[in-house]
Amino acid sequence: MYRQGAEGIAWLAVCPRDELEPGGFYLDRRPQAKHMAGPFFSEGSFTKNSEEEVGAMLRLLDGLAGLEPLGAVDGLSRC
């Protein structure tokens, strides 16, 4: 069970640098596509939250941090 994860880490540790993709996400010794969906999954074509859901999350985080609502951040409404 643990050998599979350890093998991947060991391979990355000894693989020549020029054969690795900087910042790459590797699976089975091959770089894989990364899914970047924006703040709180607000962009992209797969998992996606609505502006209302993003606003609710930002309001919750503001409240937990003891902050006053700050308005828009990166074009996403906090209202």
Start-to-end C-alpha separation, the chain = 47
Domains of the chain: which residue ranges? Answer: 1-34, 38-79
Q: In this predicted model, what pLDDT tens digit does every residue of 18-45 receive, in sequence order? A: 999 998 888 888 888 776 666 666 666 6
Q: In this predicted model, what pLDDT tens digit does every residue of 39-67 receive, in sequence order? A: 666 666 666 778 888 888 888 888 889 88
pTM greater than 0.85:
no
78, 59 in Cβ contact below 8 A?
yes
